[in-house]
Amino acid sequence: MFYTLQGEGAQSGRAAVFCRFSGCNLWSGLERDREKSACPFCDTDFVGVNGPGGGKYSSAKVVADAIKALWPAAITTKQVPYVVFTGGEPLLQLDEALVTELHSVGFEVAVETNGSLEAPKGIDWLCVSPKDQMELKITRGDELKLLYPQQALPPEKFNSLNFKHFFLQPIDNKITDDNIAKTVEYCLLHPQWRISMQIHKILHID
């Protein structure tokens, strides 16, 4: 758990507490399994619980209190405290009880998920990032963020889904510049889609 700025999508630049769950249902997170996974471009370490604020927590209330403690007490504006649940795959662990506890302490709750699992009730901002080799269980939400380009997942496959925002995010790998150029070209030709850049990497923050 850590306090930072959201670096991607429609909420880019917004202050948030990030809560990163360990574990994913699409690959182990181990380098030896990367090339066989549905998302070999994954840039997140979600193995183990030894990161900042990491550990195992006994109840939804304990987790909510830990998240609340990371929101700076000095902030006196009317900005609603914001928490982003991510992973790995957060919906392997996030449940309605935790969402309810966070609402009770004033937080707006966001989730970044691959969309292969049903989401609990009460989530305020739902971002779905589909991956290959999986059934998409969540077909509506606030934003659909597709890593681009993926030969098996053309953007047009998702055009008719019920999302408020559609983002293409260039895959960050050995040919990032080429991926950016292709993403720009696609968004210019298909204005339903907007480009999402990972500004946290540009700013060198978590």
* Catalytic residue of the set 2, 8, 31, 39: 39
CA atoms of 173 and 29, how far apart (whole Å): 17
* Catalytic residue of the set 44, 118, 176, 190: 44
* Catalytic residue of the set 33, 43, 45, 95: 43
24 is catalytic: yes
Tokens of 184: 């720009």
- What residues contact residue 4 under an 8 Å CB cut-off, 6+ apart? 15, 16, 18, 200, 205, 206
127 is catalytic: no
112 is catalytic: yes
* Catalytic residue of the set 4, 132, 172, 200: 200
103 is catalytic: no
CA atoms of 180 and 14, how far apart (whole Å): 23
* Catalytic residue of the set 108, 112, 142, 143: 112
* Catalytic residue of the set 8, 18, 142, 187: 18
Residue with tokens 């900042």: 52
SS3 content of the chain, % helix, strand, coil (to 5): 25, 20, 50
31 is catalytic: no
44 is catalytic: yes
Catalytic residue list: 18, 24, 39, 42-44, 112, 200
